[in-house]
């Protein structure tokens, strides 16, 4: 079957609308149509998500909660229930996985998909995108917007344009799916503010502004000398961003050089017991994915971001590669810096690198216990493979509600 995507990659970016807030509304229908704001209610609390009704008042995620209260005094302010978001997120990813395994999750509510390989099976990318929207609405009750493009950069900018717009205090209907066809990238990108480019942080943006670059088109047309004088060697990279060309593949398990998982918490974790549960969850999740990819890793890296955004990473390289969930967990517990919950933990991440494929696994079990545990987790992995990720979880994950701060 011929289709206009030809040899181009067809990348989808699927992004749930106001995820945490929508899940809360789903749980409590009395909240429908109200300005719902989820986030930390402590003194340093920030907005984790806001419904469109709250956005009308100017509330945005990452805004200090105090500011949100000022803007929207009649808002419904909720602490949020992390465990609920996490399980809905798993369901969301399982819907996406019905179409392809080439999925790269970005946080709980966004994912890139490379559907190039399944166009014959399911139809064009926009048909797949529309079907994703339909199934997510039907099965999860949530609204998702999808962007389609030849690169991740373009797909992400496209999904943003598929979102509902607020004009003069009224929330419009979502466009739902925005497709940027091969060859249309420039026309699509040129009018978009350059700060929306993935890879242009506040520092780069200020420098771009200093030479009069506001839109992606300005960047594309800027003179080589101008860019080089401000960015040196980085100029080439910026030029590529402006062209919408990232060589970045969708990092599903089969192609990646590391396997990892990161979790940002809507409310900082202050108790070691919470942190430990999250380490269990992360170890379980990466071990699961390594098995699926028949990979084992020698290097385990733990990333910790504190309440004040200070971030540290610590890693250990093992003598032989492992995919053992028990072993990964043991190292994570050792890598976690003692006493550091005082400042609150905003994010935890685990990356497994130095990957080996197939048969490289030499388990180093230090006692019977871990061997039994290992056997248990292999069984769990098998059950999950057959029935989906939600079918079973280790007992220590059952009580994982993020406690309100007061």
Min dist CB 360 to Mg ion, Å, is 37
- Binding flag, residue 50, Mg ion (CB under 5 A): no
Min dist CB 43 to Mg ion, Å, is 27
Cα–Cα distance list, 331 to 53, 64, 91, 350 (Å): 45, 35, 29, 11
- Binding flag, residue 89, Mg ion (CB under 5 A): no
Q: Which is nearer to Mg ion, 37 or 259 (CB)?
A: 37
- Interacting residues of 159 by C-beta distance below 8 A, sequence separation 6+: 13, 14, 15, 145, 146, 147, 178
Q: Which is nearer to Mg ion, 136 or 200 (CB)?
A: 136
Does residue 214 carry a catalytic annotation? no
Which residues inside 97-126 make contact with Mg ion, applying CB under 5 A? 109
Min dist CB 350 to Mg ion, Å, is 23
Nearest C-alpha neighbor of 157 from the set 50, 242, 90:
242
Upper half-sphere CA count for residue 235 (Cβ side, 13 Å)? 14
C-alpha to C-alpha distance for 399 and 376, rounded to whole angstroms: 20
Q: What is the DSSP letter of 293?
A: T
C-alpha to C-alpha distance for 210 and 206, rounded to whole angstroms: 6
Which residues inside 352-371 make contact with Mg ion, applying CB under 5 A? none
Min dist CB 91 to Mg ion, Å, is 15
Which residues inside 8-37 make contact with Mg ion, applying CB under 5 A? 15-16
Min dist CB 149 to Mg ion, Å, is 17
Q: Which is nearer to Mg ion, 61 or 341 (CB)?
A: 61
**Burial status of residue 287 (CB atoms within 10 A of its CB: 0-12, 13-18, 19 or more):** buried
Give me the residues paired with residue 343 across strands: none
Q: Which is nearer to Mg ion, 21 or 31 (CB)?
A: 21
- Binding flag, residue 53, Mg ion (CB under 5 A): no
Q: Which is nearer to Mg ion, 100 or 143 (CB)?
A: 143
C-alpha to C-alpha distance for 336 and 283, rounded to whole angstroms: 13
- Interacting residues of 334 by C-beta distance below 8 A, sequence separation 6+: 316
C-alpha to C-alpha distance for 322 and 362, rounded to whole angstroms: 6
- Binding flag, residue 284, Mg ion (CB under 5 A): no
- Binding flag, residue 159, Mg ion (CB under 5 A): no
Binding residue count for Mg ion, defined by CB under 5 A? 3
Given 24, 53, 110, 327, which residue is catalytic? 110
Where on the chain is the footprint of Mg ion (CB under 5 A)? Answer: 15-16, 109
- Residues known to be catalytic: 110
């Amino acid at each position: 079957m011929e289709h206009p995507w030809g040899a181009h990659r067809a990348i989808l970016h699927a992004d749930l609308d106001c995820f945490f807030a929508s899940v809360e509304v789903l749980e409590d229908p009395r909240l429908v149509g109200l300005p719902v704001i989820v986030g930390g209610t402590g003194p340093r609390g920030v907005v984790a998500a806001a419904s469109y009704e709250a956005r009308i008042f100017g509330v945005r995620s990452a805004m200090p909660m105090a500011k949100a209260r000022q803007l929207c005094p009649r808002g419904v302010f909720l602490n949020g229930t992390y465990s609920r978001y996490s399980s809905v997120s798993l369901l969301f990813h399982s819907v996406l996985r019905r179409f392809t395994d080439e999925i790269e999750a970005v946080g709980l509510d966004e994912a890139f998909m490379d559907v190039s390989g399944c166009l014959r099976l399911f139809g064009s990318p926009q048909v797949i995108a529309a079907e994703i929207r339909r199934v997510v609405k039907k099965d999860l009750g949530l609204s998702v917007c999808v962007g389609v493009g030849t690169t991740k950069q373009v797909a992400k900018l496209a999904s943003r344009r598929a979102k509902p717009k607020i004009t003069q205090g009224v929330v419009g209907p979502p466009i739902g799916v925005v497709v940027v066809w091969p060859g249309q990238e420039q026309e699509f990108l040129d009018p978009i503010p350059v700060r929306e480019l993935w890879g242009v942080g506040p520092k780069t943006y200020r420098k771009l502004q200093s030479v009069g670059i506001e839109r992606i088109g300005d960047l594309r047309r800027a003179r080589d000398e101008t860019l080089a004088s401000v960015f040196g060697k980085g100029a080439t990279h910026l030029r590529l961003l402006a062209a919408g060309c990232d060589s970045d593949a969708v990092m599903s398990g089969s192609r990646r050089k590391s396997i990892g998982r990161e979790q940002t918490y809507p409310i900082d974790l202050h108790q070691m017991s919470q942190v430990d549960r999250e380490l269990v969850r992360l170890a379980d999740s990466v071990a699961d994915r390594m098995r699926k990819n028949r990979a084992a890793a020698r290097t385990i890296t733990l990333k910790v971001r504190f309440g004040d955004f200070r971030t540290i990473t610590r890693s250990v390289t093992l003598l032989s590669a492992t995919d053992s969930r028990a072993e990964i967990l043991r190292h994570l517990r050792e890598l976690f810096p003692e006493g550091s919950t005082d400042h609150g933990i905003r994010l935890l991440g685990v990356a497994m690198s130095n990957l080996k494929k197939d048969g490289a696994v030499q388990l180093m079990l230090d006692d019977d216990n871990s061997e039994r545990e290992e056997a248990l987790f292999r069984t769990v992995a098998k059950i999950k493979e057959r029935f989906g990720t939600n079918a079973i979880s280790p007992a220590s994950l059952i009580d994982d509600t993020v406690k309100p701060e007061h």
